[in-house]
Amino acid sequence: MIKIDIANALTRTLPVSKATALQAVDLLTERMKNALLDGERIEIRGFGVFEPRPRKRGMGRNIKTGQSVAIPKGRSIRFKPGKDLRDIEIK
């Protein structure tokens, strides 16, 4: 599923134009991105939680050359599915 698929689902469900649906999807994704950049946790009940987590410094290895590479500390985003999503049986 891509962004346009979500916008199309909105236009089928709600009385909005395709342009308005695309704006809504863009607004949602932009707000979620900014919240994660600010270190905020995003919880969508029944779906899951997006949470920025600190990542430790460490040493990695370049697969092609075998040379050790320093990995800087930083943040990564963790997604934890909610109970409703975990309970879905995927075919």
Q: What is the arithmetic mean of pLDDT over 46-73?
A: 93
Q: What percent of the chain has pLDDT over 70?
A: 100
Q: Position of tokens 């916008």?
A: 7
Measured distance CA(69)–CA(55) in Å, rounded: 16
CA atoms of 61 and 74, how far apart (whole Å): 18
Question: 3-86: which CATH number, 3.90.1300.10, 3.10.620.30, 4.10.520.10, 3.20.20.70?
Answer: 4.10.520.10
What span, in angstroms and rounded, lies between the C-alpha atoms of 86 and 30? 26
pLDDT at residue 20 above 90?
yes
pLDDT surpasses 90 at 89? no
> What local confidence, expressed as pLDDT, does residue 91 receive?
75
Read off the pTM: 0.77
